[in-house]
Chain A
Amino acid sequence: MSTDTIEMVKMTGQQAVSAALFEAMEKDPKVLVFGEDVADREGGGVMGTTRGLSTKFGDARVRSTPIAEQSIIGAAIGAAMAGYKPVAEIMLMNFITVAMDMIVNHAAKLRFMSGGQSQVPMVIRTLTGAGWQTAGQHCDHFEGWFAHTAGIKVVAPATPADYKGLLLSAIQDPDPVLFIENNRTMFMAGEVPVNQGPIPLGKARIAQEGKDITLISYSGIVAHCHMAAAELAKAGISAEIVDLRTISPWDKETVLASVEKTGRALVVHEAVRDFGPGAEIAATIQEELFGKLKAPVRRLGAPYCAVPFAKVLEDAYLVQPPAIVAAAQELAARG
C-alpha cells in the first residue's frame, strides 16, 4: 500500500494523545489513567487531555488524585508490579521533582535490583515547554536527568502522529516510560493516519532528507529545525532533520548513518545546553565518526539559567530558528 492511499485525519497532538488513551483503555482492561484532575468531574485534566475517559471507562480505572506526586508515582509502581498498566499523569514536568525518589530509586531500578523478578510497566505522561510565560518552575525540559537514569525510557514526540503511535507503544512497553508532551507542539494540528498504530520506541525518524548537514532534535524544537531548514534551503544548504522520538534509549544507528552521509552534525534541544542530552549525542558522534566529520559537532540549547518570565527573555531562552540557521551556516562553510 503506497502512502497516498492511507486515509489521514487532521488532529492536534493533544487529540492524538487522547485517541491513544481511549484506544489503549478500550483494548486492555489493565490500563489505568490517574493524576491530578484527570477525571471528568475535575474537568478531564488541566488541559482537557483526559476528558471523557472517566465517563467511558469508569471511576475505578480513571481516577483524580490528591496533589501529591510521590503518592501518584508510588501507586503507579505498585499497581504496575501487580499486573496493571498505569498511565500516571504528572501535570507539569517541574512537579516531577517531588517524585524523584519514586521514579529514580524505584520505578527505574526495581527490575534490575530484583534480578528481573519485578517489572514496572508504567507510563508517566507530563507536559512542559517554554512559551507560555510560566517561568522557572512550570516549563523545564528535564529529560536529561531521566536519560541518565538506567531503567526508564524517555520519549518526546514532535508530531501528532508520533504522539499517538509512541504513546500506544509506551503503554504496552514492559518497562517504565517517561512520555514528554511539549506544550507548543501539543496544540499544533497535523495529519495522522486514521489507523495510526504503535510506533516502536528507540527508533528515530528522518523528518526531512538532506545532504549537507544533519540537524538532530526532538520534541518542540523539531518544528524550529523545519523552519531553519527552509531558510537554509534558500541559501543552498540542504539540511537533513533527524527527530529522535525516543531520547533513551536513543537511535544511534540512524543518527550516525545520517551524519556519516552529511559529514556535519548540529544537535538542538530545548533543555539547557550544559550537560544536556546533546552532549551525549555529540560525544558519541565524534567518538564514532571522528575521521569522517567535515566540521566539529555543535550543540544548541537553552542558556545556563532558569526559564525566565519576561517575554523578551523567554524568547531569547528558547532556541529559535535564526540561531539554528546561523550555526548550520557556520558548519556548512567548513570542510
Chain B
Amino acid sequence: MSQSNTNKASPDAATQLDIFRRMLRIERNDDATRSQIRRGRITAPYYSARGQEVIPATVSNLLNDDDKICTIYRGIHDMVAKDMPLRPLWAEICGRVDGTCKGKGGPMHLTHPETGVMVTTGIVGSSMPIANGFAWAALLDGTKQVTVAYFGDGASNIGAFHEALNLASVWKLPVIFVCQNNGFAEHTRYENGTSVDFIAKRAIGYGMPGYTVDGNDPFDMYAHAHAAVERARAGEGPTLLECKTFRFMGHVFGDDDSYMTKEEKAEAMAKDPVALYRQKLIDTGVATEEQLAEIQAKIEAEVQDAIDFAFQSEPPSTDELRRDVFAEEIPA
C-alpha cells in the first residue's frame, strides 16, 4: 500500500555482491554473539536482528562513509552493515576499556562516529528526532550528506515518530526514516498496536513519500532506498520506508516466543533471506560458490579476531565514573 515509486534502480553485479557481503557480516556476527551468550561469556541482554539483514545491508550500500545513522537497541546489524569495525564493537559488547564507548554504553548504546554510527538509543522512537538534527546540520553545511533513522514498527506509534516526520517534512531535511517492520512490538502483534495496515500510509499525513518494501528482498529494497537517498541528496526532503521483515530470535534473545505461532516462525525461517540471496547470486551467475566461501571465510576470521581482541581487553577503570559526565572530569 505504498505510493508508487518511479525509481527503478537495480543493483549491478558488484553492488549485489557488496550487499551480500554486508548481510553475511551481520549474520556471522550475530551467530557468534549468540554463541558467546550461550557459553556464558557475555551477560548483557541481546536483541538479535537475525532475519532483518537485507534492510541495513542494502541501505548502507547506498550510503557514503560520512553519511550518518541513528539506530536503536536492536541495531547492531545496522552498524555492522555500515562497516563499523568489529574489534571496538565486540569490546563494547563485552564491557571492556577498548570498547568503542570504553564499556560505558554496552550493546544497546554503541557509538562510532568514524563510520557514521552517531547515536544508538535504548528508547523506542528516539532515533528519529535526533536524526533530524544531523540532517539539519548537513543542510546548513551545504553538504549532500544523508542521515538514516532506523526504528521498528512499534516506534511508529510513539510521539517521537510523528513529531520527527512532521518537522523533517516542513524543513525538507535530508533524512530517511527506515522502519524495520518485523511484525512485533516487543511481544505485541502489529495489528494489535498499530492503527493502519501499512505504516507507509502514515507518510501521506506528513507530506512525504512512503513506500512499503519487501525488506527481505535486496532488489526491492535497493530500488526504494535508492529513490530515498537520491531525493535526500537532491534537497527534496525526507522519505519513509516501511521494510517488511521478520525477527527470528524473538524480542530479546532467549525469550519464549509464545506470542507468535510455531508455524509462522518456521515459515519465516524457511525463507531465510541470507540463504535465499546466497543461492540467488549463484543461480544468476553473479558469484560462484568459491567466491562466496572466500567472502565468508574472511568475515569469520574478522569476527573471531574481534572476539579474541575483546576478551583480552581489560575492564574499564572505576575512574571512568567521573569521566565524560561533562567535558571536564569530575574531581575525585
CB distance A74 to B101 under 8 Å?
no
Of all chain B residues, which has the CB nearest A121? B327
CB distance B140 to A84 under 8 Å?
yes
Closest chain-B Cβ to A134's Cβ sits at a distance in Å of: 24
Residue B133 CB within 8 A of the other chain: yes
CB distance B126 to A115 under 8 Å?
no
Interface residue tally for chain B (C-beta within 8 Å): 46
Q: Which of B99, B134, B159, B327 contacts A79 (CB 8 A)?
A: B134
CB distance A113 to B109 under 8 Å?
yes
Residue B137 CB within 8 A of the other chain: yes
Can you give 5 A-B contacts (C-beta < 8 A)? A74-B133, A78-B118, A78-B147, A102-B129, A105-B123
Of all chain A residues, which has the CB nearest B108? A113
Residue B164 CB within 8 A of the other chain: yes
Residue A39 CB within 8 A of the other chain: no
CB distance B163 to A116 under 8 Å?
no
Which among A66, A82, A249 has the greatest number of chain B C-beta atoms within 10 A?
A82
Q: Which of B113, B121, B134, B320 contacts A105 (CB 8 A)?
A: B121
List B residues 107-149 near A (Cβ within 8 Å). 109, 111-113, 118-119, 121-123, 126, 128-138, 140-141, 147
Residue B104 CB within 8 A of the other chain: yes
Chain B residues with CB below 8 A from A110, complex form: 111, 119
Chain A residues with CB below 8 A from B207, complex form: none
- In angstroms, Cα B129 to Cα A153, docked, is 22
Residue B323 CB within 8 A of the other chain: yes
Given the interface pairs A106-B126, A112-B325, A151-B326, the reply to whether A76 lies near B133 with Cβ below 8 Å is: yes
List B residues 60-112 near A (Cβ within 8 Å). 70, 99-105, 109, 111-112
CB distance A81 to B324 under 8 Å?
no
- In angstroms, Cα B320 to Cα A105, docked, is 19
- In angstroms, Cα B112 to Cα A113, docked, is 12
Given the interface pairs A66-B166, A74-B130, A75-B132, the reply to whether A117 lies near B325 with Cβ below 8 Å is: no
- In angstroms, Cα B101 to Cα A106, docked, is 15
CB distance A113 to B101 under 8 Å?
yes
Chain B residues with CB below 8 A from A61, complex form: 140
Closest chain-B Cβ to A40's Cβ sits at a distance in Å of: 18
Residue A60 CB within 8 A of the other chain: yes
Given the interface pairs A71-B164, A117-B111, the reply to whether A82 lies near B126 with Cβ below 8 Å is: no
Given the interface pairs A75-B133, A105-B123, the reply to whether A115 lies near B128 with Cβ below 8 Å is: no
Which among A66, A74, A175 has the greatest number of chain B C-beta atoms within 10 A?
A74
Chain B residues with CB below 8 A from A65, complex form: 167
Residue A68 CB within 8 A of the other chain: yes
> Which 8 pairs of residues, A with B, have the shortest CB-CB distance?
A78-B133, A74-B129, A82-B137, A115-B102, A115-B101, A114-B111, A71-B163, A174-B327
Residue A322 CB within 8 A of the other chain: no
Q: Which of B103, B112, B164, B171 contacts A74 (CB 8 A)?
A: B164
Residue B160 CB within 8 A of the other chain: yes
CB distance A70 to B136 under 8 Å?
no
> Contacts A106-B121, A115-B324 given; 11 further ones with Cβ under 8 A?
A71-B160, A71-B166, A74-B126, A74-B130, A77-B130, A78-B137, A81-B130, A105-B121, A111-B324, A116-B102, A150-B325
- In angstroms, Cα B104 to Cα A112, docked, is 7
Chain B residues with CB below 8 A from A117, complex form: 100-101, 111-113
- In angstroms, Cα B163 to Cα A73, docked, is 11
Of all chain B residues, which has the CB nearest A116? B324
